[in-house]
Structure 1
Amino acid sequence: MDSPSLHIAMFPLFAMGHLTPYLHLSNKLAKRGHKISFFIPKNTQTKLEQFNLNPNLITFFPLNVPHVNGLPFGAETTSDVSFSLAPLIMTAMDQTQPQIELLLTQLNPKIVFFDFTFWLPKFAQTLGIKSLQYFIVSPATVSYVASPPRMCKGTNLTEFDFYETPKRLYNGLNFTDAIGFKGCREIEGPYVDYIEEQFAKPVLLSGPVLPEPSKTVLPKMILLYLLLRYCDIS
């Protein structure tokens, strides 16, 4: 993907553990000259702006997250609520669909990355936009949770029920143009081959996508404290 440059949209799950890796990936892609349109809950944007290392190429597009009965007012991500309320964050995310469709229509990116919004690939296809379901979990996890044989037999994974994870992932995998993972073939190879075979579409691996080393210099007083606290300087 080094040449030519692409316009890529990013629409991760409304959870900091998904938004942050997607931004790390965006930084890696922007470093190679690609333009990124990053869809993010409006009030969560300020929490991630400091990690945007390429503001000339990565643009945040804030979303108004609709209120869902049962959620605290202003809740946008799973970090804003207790574990038991996480399903309602997913419901709220689904209700941003009209905003996403309008943004995709206006921006017309070449490809859109997503993870849990299984309804996205079909609409993207109507606009001639390719879709890539990019996972921050491993191919082994997806193989176990959402493979066609397992879905045909049914699943009883209560730890995933709060996101309806198997159904969402399976539907997305069926309609996306390609599948991506945060990982490498040296470790995940057999599972990658299995997913390629089951869904008959390419599986791409981004590598670990580690964040850039921090360039922040700690204030002198903090450095002094650390020296005194943890080092024997007698």
Structure 2
Amino acid sequence: MADQLHVVMFPFFAFGHVSPFIQLSNKLSSRGIRISFFTIPGFIPRVKTLLVPSPNTEIIPLQLPPSLGLPPNLAGTMELPTSEAVKLITAIDLTQPQVKTLLSELKPDFVLFEFAQHWLPSLASELGIKTMFFSVFSAIAAAYIAPPGRLIGIEGTPTVDDLIQPPQGFPMRFVYNTFRNPNFSLLH
């Protein structure tokens, strides 16, 4: 249908990141929105079992470049040693020509993406496609782990000892009281 809203989902290829995109896809699809879900071949069986079957939804595999030495049917970061996980980000960067071709063919209204596809907004803009950053991290976690002030005076990547201390001005009393509240639930 020509006037049907079409959204491409492009999560980072770790299942903790893919899962929220699947949940959102199911909600949008149930509202009649067409979904094209980008994933890697190794994730297709899991994605297929979690996406609600719908004529509005299709799974589109992205081929990771073999030059990085990643397994051909890689099923995300869980199959990689921690030291190799950065290769997955590099591999995603190398999918740009493939993604551009797919987006040119699909002509979606929007692409939802994550942290690893920093290049996607400019690529999609060239094609007249809007993008939306979809963060799977909770706001409180991002406020604790990633505020710019946390990096002041730290050389390199923050260590566990650096992260144990909350950033300056972080409302620890609020967090402590929230989790102690017997009426608090992570499900709401």
Fold similarity call, TM over 0.5: yes
The C-alpha deviation readout for 1:44-64, integer Å capped at 9, x for no partner, is 212221112133111011111
Q: Is the 8 A contact 2:40 2:64 kept in 1?
A: yes
Partner of 1:81: 80
Call closer, same or farther: CA 1:95–1:122 in 2, change over 3 Å.
same
CA distance in 2, matches of 1:107, 1:50: 23
AA aligned opposite 2:138? S
Shift of 1:157: 2.6
SS at match of 1:89: helix
Q: Is the 8 A contact 2:13 2:40 kept in 1?
A: yes
Call closer, same or farther: CA 1:109–1:149 in 2, change over 3 Å.
farther
AA aligned opposite 1:94? D
The C-alpha deviation readout for 1:118-158, integer Å capped at 9, x for no partner, is 00011111122111110111123334455566678877434
AA aligned opposite 1:128? G
SS at match of 2:21: helix
Q: State the percentage of identical aligned residues.
A: 36
Partner of 1:130: 130
Partner of 1:40: 39
Q: Is the 8 A contact 1:7 1:35 kept in 2?
A: yes
SS at match of 1:136: coil
Matches within 5 A, 1:202-221: none
CA distance in 2, matches of 1:86, 1:75: 12
How does the TM-score come out when normalised to structure 2?
0.73
Higher relative contact order (CA 8 A, sep 6+): 2
AA aligned opposite 1:157? P
CA RMSD of aligned residues (A): 2.9
How does the TM-score come out when normalised to structure 1?
0.60
Partner of 1:14: 13
SS at match of 1:135: coil
Consecutive unaligned residues in structure 1, runs of 5 or more: 160-186, 188-207, 211-234
CA distance in 2, matches of 1:105, 1:22: 22
Q: Is the 8 A contact 2:29 2:57 kept in 1?
A: yes
SS at match of 1:56: coil
SS at match of 2:61: strand
Q: Is the 8 A contact 1:10 1:39 kept in 2?
A: yes
Shift of 1:70: 5.1
